[in-house]
Structure 1
């Protein structure tokens, strides 16, 4: 029996069967709008092996950026952590490292993220709440106390003040006898997504892009093991975007950063290999695996065909993944362990380079130590017990995965062209286009939840009549602000204020020009014990502050 004849007979059986047993819904539609066929086979999954898949570690990297992927070493297990004081977060870091975590990921509190010291009036009520409070390089010393920075990779989720936090990290390392060339890690440093999805921006787009280009140029020359940016689709997805928009908007932002650095007459091959990305892993395993593979292939094509990259590393999409915080529910929190496991599995099957797994209690509070341990153990069980890491690209060749990969790449490329035709990411942000698209997708998603089309177990189906109130939640002591203020006063009373004034003055003068890289001046200011807020206020005076457009 030939393929076409066999499919025809199956379709007869299929139609007869659904006549007896009606299907669960009329169409099986993914969040991205793609419609799933009832079955995939060579007649509706068209793949050119060499062009579309290739081999792992080789262009177009559909099957992974390493030839042997996790058979060589597992992805970096990088749990995101930070709350209260630097001392408390240091204790959590060392606990996680003792439990087998292989990389650090720092969460900063809101004042730090928007460039205010803990003693600023706008910091009241927020110090240490959603991350660790860092005001001076002395806080950074405490944060990494008893941790060898030459042996651990550190990721920092910081954007507008990213250059300052990187400078603090460099100074801490140097004052502990380590050169900057041995340091490995990442600063998020992705300001464009802040304008559309998250809100911790400070300066307008032009000076923000200047600061980012400064860090990328500096790291290309001074810190070969450091990723100076993690271009983030995660927050775009968390704000409500679908899978297509997540990748398309991220790549539009990435192209804006590449363009900004190329204006400095630096070869794309000299810095693109240090660009990294950050994506979300959501609940639909098939869609998410295909999304990661499509993104890897499309980025390789963009770098090779549009930017002329010749080095393979400059074409590789290396990315960190975090499971989807927006899918966690306060109702029946233990269900979140299953959600996180599925999402983590999608990330691993999709070929991530590092992974954070959310804790089951994060819809209730900052995670407790017990919940963090379960989240880390989820990754370890996937790595050591599931077998999915033992072969490269285990879902490669699956008819449904390959067809979804092709369709997602096509839809992402179309959305990216729309933004390119508008003049690029900055133009799309300033017009409100990205914000509007994200809001529309978020509305569609939650409309589906509200009307029951999209089932959320424990929320709109299989809900409990009474909520379980027995879960322990982590609470941050409000006295932390007083401790931070005392620490700032101690630093200011022991520093050389003549050097402080001089370093801030020189930084301000350089910021007012356009051809000076600010990183060395920021490092000098940090070394002289200028506070985060003092450095950011100096730049505020020159750059001004951003006011978002009204788009609704």
Structure 2
């Protein structure tokens, strides 16, 4: 059980709600109505099921394209792109820093030609695409739009999400490039530009997922995620953006972890806290600005290499919590992901898990069926108090940016992770198949393997591209990126121009790095 104060009681009664100060009209309301505790849609899944996404990307663009077409044929409704580490941190496949990492944890994308191969035969204006990319999010979105334009698609109809949550990279994940203040400028530039050019695109997915994977508690996940969200809102306001124009396009990304009841309470708490902050704290007038829309993914950190078939059950429980918590889209992990990237069989089982919850369990037929539960409502109120306590502590430090720069947020998560590992080591927290119900021998499990020749082929591709592109057009485009970085113009038009001129991810990143510099972590507690 996670080490936090939200440990449930054995029995809940109406007295627990009274003690928590619960007011059904104020705190609960109706589905689709402020404060959205019961969900953002009045009919929820009766009107439309959540989007069933499967996060995928491996090797090169062709290999990933085959997996996407397999998933679409299997019934997935949206694509979710995993990029390899060099792409995430702005290095081309032929850079010395990329050696041994090309295509390993996701797909290698160096240029517009790679992006074209990635989506070959897939109509971009007829699907929803989520891209898990942060430090280089502006470049990957530009490449996606450039490919859509080449294909003759109506860019204004493109729908999807780019994660673009750079703050959680400094907190929990580490794939940052630029100093925080410059990185925040890129984020707000994307907000402003996309609201005009790709109005159906979600320009950020404010993510608690990776903080939970790093060991945070459920309450910390909500508090730090929403604190990051409020920091982005304030940065956008400071940049002169209109709140009720950009706020409806904000989205969130949460972890669906093991503790079923706590997770349902977590999602409800997050919606309610965000709605109140946006309406009462920031003064948003548009009801869509108050709505917290979120994607959920089952918890990769809970998957075990021991008895990996047990992970199918873990994932099903976690997915059900996300659904009963009111998610708008969901990814379910493959059971073999503690060993390698998922095989087609594992991906199919993960998708079928969602389809069975949607079509066979009956939970989609009733809107927010857990509303009014003594346990759920009391746990939601308790978590809201814990979140507010974190907000107060962050404000006392001078805000989230200062708390991150001091290393305080990171330390809070590390302390929680250490406490949970101690509970596992002592046996207080049971992990089935690991510290209880284990077996002496593990049968072999077929795993996905990446072709060893892929890296060489990808290096050859990017080098060949450099030889045949229009050098004059390419250099002029990069010069404009540098000029806008220095002089303060919106970066997105010049980044898109560079993408269309066949500039690579590494070259655009290097150009920005020459102006902004690199972030150097310095923790002073």
TM-score by length of 2: 0.98
- Report the secondary structure of 1:252's partner residue: helix
User: Which residue in the other structure is 1:366 paired with?
Assistant: 341
Q: Shift of residue 489 of structure 1?
A: 2.1
Q: Which of 500, 503, 510 is the equivalent residue of 1:527?
A: 500
CA–CA distance in structure 2, aligned partners of residues 466 and 156 of structure 1: 39
1:80 to 41, 55, 72: 55
Say whether the 8 Å CA contact 1:292–1:350 is kept in structure 2.
yes
2:36 corresponds to 1:36:
no
2 CA distance for matches of 1:302 and 1:222?
28
Is the alpha carbon distance of 1:472 and 1:298 closer, same or farther for their aligned partners in structure 2, counting shifts above 3 Å? same
Residue 50 of structure 1 deviates from its aligned partner by 1.1
Which piece of structure 1 moves more, 31-40 or 312-321? 31-40
**Shift of residue 353 of structure 1?**
0.3
Is 1:462 equivalent to 2:437 in the alignment?
yes
CA contact (8 A) 1:30 1:36 kept: no
Contact 1:231 1:277 in 2 (8 A): yes
Deviation per residue, 1:407-438 (Å, 9 max, x gap)? 11111111122112211111001101011001
More moved, 38-47 vs 397-406: 38-47
The DSSP-based 3-state class of the residue aligned with 2:252 is strand
Q: Using the alignment, how far apart are the partners of 1:58 and 1:180 within structure 2?
A: 32
Q: Which residue of 1 aligns with 2:249?
A: 274
Distance 2:252 2:290 in 1: 13
Distance 1:485 1:457 in 2: 43
Tell me what 2:260 maps to: 285
Query: Aligned residue for 2:174?
Result: 199
Match 1:547 to one of 507, 520, 523: 520
Q: Which residue of 1 aligns with 2:454?
A: 480
Tell me the SS of whatever aligns to 1:78.
strand
Distance 1:384 1:268 in 2: 38
Q: Do 1:31 and 1:243's aligned partners in 2 also have CA atoms closer than 8 Å?
A: no
CA contact (8 A) 2:265 2:325 kept: yes
Task: Compute the displacement of 1:481 (Å).
Answer: 1.4
In the alignment, the residues of structure 1 paired with residue 351 and residue 183 of structure 2 have an alpha-carbon distance, to the nearest angstrom, of: 35
Bigger relative contact order, structure 1 or 2 (CA pairs below 8 A, ≥6 apart): 2
CA contact (8 A) 1:85 1:480 kept: yes
User: 1: distance between equivalents of 2:524 and 2:365?
Assistant: 48
The answer to whether the Cα contact below 8 Å between 1:181 and 1:225 also exists between their aligned partners in 2 is yes
User: Contact 2:405 / 2:523 at 8 angstroms: preserved in 1?
Assistant: no
- The structure with the larger Rg is 1
Task: Compute the displacement of 1:52 (Å).
Answer: 0.6
Q: Provide the secondary structure at the position in 2 that maps to 1:280.
A: strand
| 2:55 match: secondary structure | strand
Kept in 1, the 8 Å contact 2:2–2:217? The answer is no
Q: Following the alignment from structure 1 to structure 2, what is the Cα–Cα distance between the partners of residues 487 and 82?
A: 18
State whether residues 83 and 129 of structure 1, in contact with CA within 8 Å, keep that contact through their aligned partners in structure 2.
yes
Residue correspondence of structure 1 range 122-271 to structure 2 within 5 A: 122-271=97-246
Q: What runs of 5+ residues in structure 2 fail to find an aligned partner?
A: none
Matched-pair contact (CA < 8 Å) for 2:161–2:204? yes
2:101 and 2:327 map into 1 onto residues whose CA distance is 33
5 Å-filtered alignment, 1:287-302, equals 287-302=262-277
* Contact in 2 for aligned 1:251/1:416 (Cα 8 Å): no
- Cα distance, 1:30 vs. partner? 5.6
- 1:536 paired to 2:509: yes
Is 1:502 aligned to 2:455, yes or no? Answer: no
Match 1:435 to one of 410, 413, 427: 410
- With the length of structure 1 as denominator, give the TM-score of the two structures: 0.93
- Greater CA drift, 267-276 or 490-499: 490-499
Superposition CA RMSD, Å:
1.0
User: How far apart are residue 551 of structure 1 and its match?
Assistant: 5.3
Question: 1:493 — aligned with what?
Answer: 467
Conservation of the 8 A alpha-carbon contact between 2:59 and 2:451: yes
Separation (CA, whole Å) in 2 of partners of 1:551 and 1:466:
46
Query: Which of 490, 508, 512 is the matching residue for 1:517?
Result: 490
Alignment of 1:321-470 (within 5 A): 321-468=296-443, 470=444
How many residue pairs were aligned? 522
In 1, Cα distance between equivalents of 2:310 and 2:288 = 39
2:470 & 2:205 partners in 1: Cα distance?
Answer: 35
Cα distance in 1 for residues equivalent to 2:165 and 2:16: 39
Distance 1:127 1:30, change over 3 A: closer
SS in 1 for 2:114: helix
Asked if structure 2 preserves the Cα contact closer than 8 Å seen for 1:53 and 1:63, the reply is yes
User: 1:255 & 1:48 partners in 2: Cα distance?
Assistant: 26
Separation in structure 2 between the aligned mates of residue 162 and residue 74 of structure 1, nearest angstrom: 28
Q: What SS is found at the alignment partner of 1:221?
A: helix
Equivalent position SS for 1:389: helix
Unaligned runs of 5+ in 1: 1-28
Deviation at residue 151 of structure 1 after TM alignment: 1.1
* Cα displacement (A) at 1:217: 0.9
More deviation in 228-237 or 252-261?
252-261
SS at match of 2:314: helix
